[in-house]
Chains A and B, each alone.
Chain A
Amino acid sequence: MELVLTKYFHLDDYRFIDTYVKHGGYSALEKALRMDTDQIIEEVKKASLRGRGGAGFPAGVKWGFMPKVTDKPKFVVVNADESEPGTFKDRLIMERGPHLLIEGIAITSYAVGAHVCYIYIRGEFVRPAQLLETAIQEAYEKGYLGKDILGSGFDLDVYVHRGAGAYICGEETGMIESIEGEKGQPRLKPPFPAQIGVFGAPTLVNNVETIADIPYIIEHGGDAFRALGTEKDGGTRLYGVSGFVNKPGVYELPAGTNLKSIIYEHSGGILDGKKLKAVIPGGSSVPVMKADEIDVPADMESIAEAGSMLGTAGIIVIPEGVCMVRLLSIIMTFYAHESCGKCTPCREGTEWMRIILENIERGEGKEGDLELILDVCDNMEGTTICALSEAAVMPAESFIGKFREEFDYHIREKKCLDGELKI
């Protein structure tokens, strides 16, 4: 099977530029620098490359939003915040193949006419940030970054910018505020970053994996990349499988690989011979799926048809014996903690839900609590600046919707219906 990203990740030296170049690295950049920028954007459009950061926006279309003519400098920002619970794929790229990302950055920046790129990496990733710095240094020394890259006349500087612990800085406008030295509180859109991004200038924001796919697309063409996945969700995906499975890890597979087979074949099935209860297919912010709903292709369209979202492709596996009230309570504590507080429905709503869920879990639930939660959810949808609010609503509504009997039982009997596996 054709691998776009992880083909050489088993080689320890692949993180160093000599080994990367030996295996064909930076030839896509050479090729791109001889191409017309419109042609590059056209290939990315043809590739059906969907953003890997969670929202799945078509990358080529987003690149097309960047203004051609502007009196301002343009910027590229790489989203390496990787904070969505259940997501741990970008770190693998930065640790095992940082030059894939750097080559992708150089091509992307050339295509949209940016001369400065910031890689916004979450503050906790101290070691990955150091690896990136080393790789960037190497790329400067070899002339793949800096002034007049490979004699093309194109200049590019790349800087690592470290976050400092805040999920909301993964949201692109929160990230922009954070780079500017503010609290990472999101901005109302429009204007979109392509119009007004960092330092008031047009900015392209893409996820690490999205950018790391670019060298392959340039090397082999957009059609070849798309053919690896589905028509609307091209290429391979880094599926990150975690939770109660035998072989957790990151698996690079064609977009549209069957979700059940990712869990049972690639990840070795459920730990301790337990039975599967539920799956969260794309990071904690997407609707949960029941065990009998997962026999579907894991591409964006198919998972949406099945009532959830592919999100970051961070697949969390939940076995029977885990109390869904407890699990939702753990999830809601996260959103309540991470709400940036700018919008009342989100700030108050996540906190209310957290408190109600903790009460139910403690055996102090009351009749009407679930209706109250669902009512709070209604008030949080479509009324806020960013999507964190909906990210909290989706697990709440789906957990209660699909495991209602566990919640009712908890309120009535003051204990778990299915909770022998204490978490």
Chain B
Amino acid sequence: MNDRETGIRFSDQGMREFNEALTRYPAKQAAILPALHIAQREFGHISTDVIRYVAKLLDLSPARVHGVVTFYTMLNQKPVGRYHLQVCRNVSCSLLGAFHLIEYISGKLGIEPGGTTPDGKFTLSLVECLGSCGTAPVMQLNDDYVENLTEEKIDEILSSGD
């Protein structure tokens, strides 16, 4: 099932997960979100080539897959930085200073929400309630939550490693 022209294909591990996902539903197309999650993990973002690849795996039209991709905010159609800072802008977090922290990050990185630093290291996004309001303000950093977010915690993250 490899896509000869683009060279896009799941790793063996990804393909195993995809095949396993197919067994979970009585209809093949229900595996579309599992497939897109694997794709995002392996390719970083969901490009049109990736959409074509996933469509082929599921016997769907690329337009159909594209429709799903655009509906869900977590599926990135553009590349994001190695560190994706997604700060909650909803009620409980705002009450405890979320917008102040958003400005702080924006200022430090020199990018607006939605932007990525030129070196491709950081992307800043604003997101809706993360379901962690008891430890507001909250930010999702790649797969993990950073709770009770402060300027100090932000400094630490922005000055980290690679």
Query: What is A's interface to B at a CB cutoff of 8 Å?
Result: 73, 82-88, 90-91, 122-127, 157, 159, 161-167, 178-184, 199, 240-244, 248-250, 280, 284, 314, 316-319, 322, 327, 330-331, 333-334, 337-338, 422-423
Contacts and interface: CB of A to CB of B under 8 A. Distances in A.
Given A316-B91, A422-B100, A199 B133 contact: no
B128 A122 contact: no
Contacts of A322: 95
7 contacts: A85-B90, A87-B131, A123-B37, A162-B33, A182-B68, A243-B92, A322-B95
Contacts, number: 148
B130 A124 contact: yes
Contacts of A183: 67-68, 71
Nearest to B24: A159
A164 B135 contact: no
Interface of B: 24-27, 29-34, 36-37, 58, 67-68, 71-75, 89-92, 94-100, 127-136, 140, 143-145
A243 B73 contact: no
A164 B72 contact: yes
Given A127-B144, A165-B75, A83 B30 contact: no
Nearest to A75: B26
A286 to B, nearest CB: 12
Rank and list the top 9 A-B pairs by shortest CB-CB distance, nearest first. Answer: A165-B74, A164-B72, A165-B73, A242-B133, A242-B92, A85-B129, A181-B29, A181-B32, A183-B71
B128 A338 contact: yes
A423 B144 CA distance: 25
Contacts of B140: 124
B128 A127 contact: no
Given A85-B90, A199-B26, A161 B128 contact: no
Contacts of B128: 83, 85, 167, 334, 337-338
Nearest to A421: B95
A123 B135 CA distance: 19
A55 B97 CA distance: 30
Nearest to A125: B131
Given A85-B133, A337-B128, A327 B91 contact: yes
A182 to B, nearest CB: 7
B60 to A, nearest CB: 8
A346 to B, nearest CB: 16
B78 to A, nearest CB: 15
Contact of B91 (A83, A90, A280): A280
A280 B95 CA distance: 13
Contact of A86 (B72, B133, B144): B133
A239 to B, nearest CB: 11
B97 A87 contact: no
B33 A164 contact: yes
B30 A181 contact: yes
B91 A162 contact: no
A244 B96 contact: yes
Contact of B136 (A82, A83, A162, A248): A248
Contact of A82 (B36, B68, B131): B131
Given A84-B129, A162-B34, A423-B97, 4 more contacts: A124-B130, A181-B29, A319-B95, A423-B99
Contacts of B25: 179, 181, 199
B30 A164 contact: no
B63 to A, nearest CB: 12
B68 to A, nearest CB: 6
A123 B94 contact: no
A333 B143 CA distance: 25
A162 B134 CA distance: 23
B121 to A, nearest CB: 21
A284 B129 CA distance: 10
Contacts of B71: 166, 183-184
A275 to B, nearest CB: 15
A44 B135 CA distance: 33
Given A164-B72, A423-B95, A87 B133 contact: yes
Contacts of A243: 91-92, 95-96, 133, 136
Of A84, A317, A422, A423, most buried by chain B (CB within 10 Å of CB) is A423
Given A161-B33, A164-B36, A181 B27 contact: yes
B131 to A, nearest CB: 4
Given A127-B143, A162-B37, A164-B37, A83 B89 contact: no
Nearest to A164: B72
A239 B99 CA distance: 26
B134 A242 contact: yes
B133 A331 contact: no
